[in-house]
Structure 1
Amino acid sequence: MAAFGKEAALILVDVQKAFVEIEDAGRRRNNPQAVANMARLLEAFRNRGLAVFHVRHASKEPGSLLRPERSGYEAIGEAAERADEPVLVKHVNSAFIGTDLEQRLRDGGYETVVIAGITTNHCVETTTRMAGNLGFDARLVEDACYTFDRVGHSGEVESAEAIHAMTLSNLDGEFARKETTETVLAALRHSAAA
């Protein structure tokens, strides 16, 4: 079993109320337990004194629910940051572009990044790809992220489950390793016992 020590950091990507508002407006998503799983990961990392980085998207697009002055910009309560936890603000898909995330990870000696958040096939995927390309041991927690149904290029509706699964397939083994909340929690327990 893998173990996560002090070299591991949790990165929560765009866990923001805009996505709750999108769902409330009728968009269907997958992984209904995802936010609860993010909260479980957050609690476990906090309890072990491990690093946590919150990433928030501040859209510059007119009308975006993720604009800083709108309610959708705020963090979802269960996975919100504490006063002593850094919040990195980005304006593009990758949490590494326009932020000091890479420098913070390097300075802290964090080699393993455990990634969760919203949405799987946008900012979570882009951040995960870049983490892998930068040489981090990226672990994407498949049941602690989600996406929405969307109309594909053919005009047909593609299910959130299919989009999520394809994104995981594209990333696993090439840019990251898939994890579940349970495998991460087990690895943390194993580390604490060692």
Structure 2
Amino acid sequence: MPVLLLIDLQVGMTWPRKRNNPQAEACIARLLAAWRRAGQAVVHVRHLSRTPGSPFWPGQPGAEFQPALAPLASEHVVDKNVPDAFTHTGLERWLHARGHRELVIAGVSTNHSVEATARSAGNLGFRTHVVGDACFTFDLTDLRGLRHPAEEVHQMSLANLHGEYASVIDTAAAERLTG
């Protein structure tokens, strides 16, 4: 059975910025409820910054999980300091020790932590699914100074992943994976 891997669903990610996909949290809540009903493994990934003053510095309000999507005591939590949830976290070892070979990834931001984690998961041999409608990102300025809307950034990131590192699916398809 696939593990639901929820990335960076922290309070600081809800603070006002231009983003896409306002229904992402509702989709994530549906996935979380489906995994819990099915008794399947859920892993919550939390970004803890190494930069003093960051909203994601340990103990800051921005670093806390969003209350509606917070882990239960029985659910595994992985703390990371870089975008990739596999780098220096023990996540790969935790998954292998429990025989997990398939991941369903949702969270924020699509072009940073979601994409970095999905790339590593695919490279490490996990069967990986990214739930496109359960992810979101923010507007981004490129190196030429051109501003790209969040939806464009989101779609390009999903296109980078699909077929190479992961399959991009929607919430309904992900829910069917629970059995």
After TM superposition, the score normalised by the length of structure 2 is 0.97
Matched, 1:9 2:7: no
Q: Give aligned pairs, total.
A: 179
Consecutive unaligned residues of structure 1, counting only runs of 5 or more, are 1-6
The 5 A counterparts of 1:3-152 are 7-21=1-15, 23=16, 27-152=17-142
Contact 2:2 2:177 in 1 (8 A): no
SS for the counterpart of 2:143 is coil
| Amino-acid identity (%) | 45
Following TM superposition, by how much is the alpha carbon of 1:111 offset from its aligned partner in structure 2, in angstroms?
1.2
SS for the counterpart of 2:177 is helix
Contact 2:7 2:114 in 1 (8 A): yes
Amino acid corresponding to residue 116 of structure 1 in structure 2: A
Contact 1:117 1:124 in 2 (8 A): yes
Radius of gyration: which is bigger?
A: 1
SS for the counterpart of 1:55 is strand
Following TM superposition, by how much is the alpha carbon of 1:18 offset from its aligned partner in structure 2, in angstroms?
0.7
Amino acid corresponding to residue 49 of structure 2 in structure 1: S
Contact 1:36 1:78 in 2 (8 A): no
Contact 1:16 1:76 in 2 (8 A): yes
Q: Distance in 2 between the 1:40 and 1:50 partners?
A: 14
Following TM superposition, by how much is the alpha carbon of 1:62 offset from its aligned partner in structure 2, in angstroms?
2.5
Q: Distance in 2 between the 1:176 and 1:123 partners?
A: 14
Cα RMSD over matched residues? 0.9
SS for the counterpart of 1:106 is helix
Q: Distance in 2 between the 1:64 and 1:48 partners?
A: 37
